[in-house]
Amino acid sequence: MKPRSAAFLCLIMVSCGIRSGRRFEAINTDGMRWFKGNTHAHAREGESDTSVEAVGKWYRDHGYQFLVITDHSTVTFPETLAGLADSTFLAIPGEEITGTADGKDLEINGLNVLDAVPPQNDSTLTAVLQKCVDAVRRQKGVPVINHPNYQWRLDRAVISTVERCGLFEVYNAFPGVGNEGDSGHPGLEQVWDSLLTSGKRIYGIAADDGHAYTRFSPDLSNPGRAWVMVRARRLDAEEIVKNLDSGLFYSSTGVVIEDIRIRPRRIEIAIRKTGGREAAVEFIGSGGRVLAATTDNPAVYDLGPEDVYVRARILDADGSRAWVQPVFVVR
């Protein structure tokens, strides 16, 4: 095919997509700001090497606007950190909930829960996972599936069956949790794209899962290694977790995004430059296929005729990453 003919065909295909009414789904973000937070941290005696107050102070002093302490089988309420909370720092109640089936464990976080959820048990991991999620939802909290690849506890088949849970940890900074998979297990981004391709709406959180706050080492679960940036109009627990549940956030291990603009047929991502370095941006679609790659800033992607969803992965030269949540195509 001649180059001019190929370009003409491409133009026709894009025009057909426009005429058919296909567009990126977008939520009105006017008046919203970015709030930095961590949704997975441990603090109580036996789960960390310091106090609840010291954990809260670490995050507040390092520029976080909100924190969810998620100790096992207990809820850390905001009153515990009342001495730290002000108009710039918010403590959100949370818990890490355990489920067991036939000797196998799983864990989820309950964000903004009212009371502790006891350990859940059933005959299958699928049933246990749903029990945990339902217990959080009954309290009007938001569930997050934690570190699925830790000890290879949860695979795609189990996650795909759960209802009313649209958040999972695509990156957990606890050493040895298997984020990248191995020769016998897919990495969590691969799992994510498989779920998205099958039609499941699910968003990827990055979190510290911190336990060690007094000594710092690559082999310790230290704070400050992974976080979320949530869009919201105010620093309010209900709005923060609701917007997490709706995918109004990005996840990061160091990359800072200035803005994400979703147009009817275009995605634009503006990235903060660090030390003059260029960040590499990959736009990813169905099946985990890389649809486009660029070092342009802002990075731009135009809706393609076959797109079902588009997400973005950003890699800085220093190895830090960010994950932009999938944007779905609707009519």
Q: What is the pLDDT of residues 2-42, one digit of tens each?
A: 445 444 444 444 444 444 699 999 999 999 999 999 999 99
Q: What is the mean pLDDT of the chain?
A: 94
Q: Is residue 156 included in any domain, yes or no?
A: yes
CATH number at residue 176: 3.20.20.140
Q: Which residues of 166-195 are buried (b: 16+ CB within 10 A; e: fewer)?
A: bbbbbbbbbeebbbeeeeeebbbbebbbbb
Sole residue written with tokens 């909370």: 85
Q: What is the pLDDT of residue 166?
A: 98
Asked if residue 119 and residue 98 are part of one domain, the reply reads yes
Cα 223 from Cα 58, distance rounded (Å)? 8
Evaluate whether residue 9 is within a structural domain: no
pLDDT of residue 12: 44
Q: What range defines the domain where residue 186 resides?
A: 30-253
Q: Are residues 83 and 191 in the same domain?
A: yes
| Count of Cβ atoms closer than 10 Å to residue 134 Cβ | 16
Q: Which two tokens stand for residue 140?
A: 């009007």
Q: In which element (H, E) is residue 7 found? A: helix 3-19
For the segment 61-114, what is each residue's pLDDT rounded down to a tens digit?
Answer: 999 999 999 999 999 999 999 999 899 999 999 999 999 998 999 999 999 999
Task: List the pLDDT tens digit at each of the 331 positions of the chain.
Answer: 444 544 444 444 444 444 469 999 999 999 999 999 999 999 999 999 999 999 999 999 999 999 999 999 999 999 999 999 899 999 999 999 999 998 999 999 999 999 999 999 999 999 999 999 999 999 999 999 999 999 999 999 999 999 999 999 999 999 999 999 999 999 999 999 999 999 999 999 999 999 999 999 999 999 999 999 999 999 999 999 999 999 999 999 999 999 999 999 999 999 998 877 889 999 999 999 999 999 999 999 999 999 999 999 999 999 999 999 999 999 9
- 3-class SS string, 243-289: HHHCCCEEEECCCCEEEEEEECCEEEEEECCCCCCCCEEEEECHHHC
Residue 120, CB-side half-sphere exposure with 13 Å CA sphere: 23
Same domain, 195 and 95: yes
- Residue 129 included in any domain: yes
Q: Does 212 lie in the same domain as 145?
A: yes
Same domain, 51 and 200: yes
In the three-class reduction of DSSP (H, G, I as helix; E, B as strand; rest coil), residue 104 is classed as strand
Q: End-to-end distance of the chain based on CA atoms, in angstroms?
A: 31
